[in-house]
Amino acid sequence: MALFGFGKKKEGEKSACSCGCGCEVSPAPADSSPITSIRVLGSGCKNCRALLESTQEAVRTLGLPVEAEYVTDMKEIMASGAMAMPALEINGKLASAGRVLKAGQVARLLAEWGR
């Protein structure tokens, strides 16, 4: 018996994310459209600022014509549906929550979501 749901994975079972750690990373929507908005949702802590910096670096690397917006207003964060912070929202949909992504991981997410 695994404690708290952790333990050996059953054969054929896949993780929720591409890195295999089981973090909350949403798959790209089937109707991917050009990226028009990117928001980092957080309380202003060190991890939230780190995700913002990684996101800004990924946007520069990909040459996207949008800027990453940093949202610290808790009412706005709750309205977005984010249950863990920091969170990354692309085109109004939650892409990642509860994890500080590196610039390369954010770039991969942006590339998937902006097909």
> What tens digit of pLDDT does each residue of 33-68 get?
788 999 999 999 999 999 999 999 999 999 999 999
Of 12, 83, 61, 101, which Cα lies nearest the Cα of 109? 101
Instruction: Report if residue 83 sits inside a domain.
Output: yes
Record the pTM: 0.74
What CATH number has the domain bearing residue 57? 3.40.30.10
Instruction: Report if residue 1 sits inside a domain.
Output: no
Instruction: Report if residue 4 sits inside a domain.
Output: no
Three-state DSSP class for residue 103 = helix
Instruction: Report if residue 73 sits inside a domain.
Output: yes
Instruction: Report if residue 89 sits inside a domain.
Output: yes
Mean pLDDT rounded to a whole number for the chain: 82
Alpha carbon distance 76, 68 (integer Å):
16
> What tens digit of pLDDT does each residue of 102-114 get?
999 999 999 888 7
Instruction: Report if residue 30 sits inside a domain.
Output: no
The residue type at 32: S
| CA dihedral sign of residues 5, 6, 11, 17 | positive
Alpha carbon distance 58, 19 (integer Å):
17
Instruction: Report if residue 68 sits inside a domain.
Output: yes
> What tens digit of pLDDT does each residue of 78-92 get?
999 998 999 999 999
Instruction: Report if residue 34 sits inside a domain.
Output: no
Alpha carbon distance 38, 84 (integer Å):
17
The better pLDDT of the pair 8, 77 is held by: 77
Range of the domain at 63: 40-115
Number of domains the chain contains: 1
Q: Name the pairing type of β-strands 93-97 and 87-90.
A: antiparallel
CA–chain centroid gap for 34, Å, is: 17
The better pLDDT of the pair 69, 6 is held by: 69
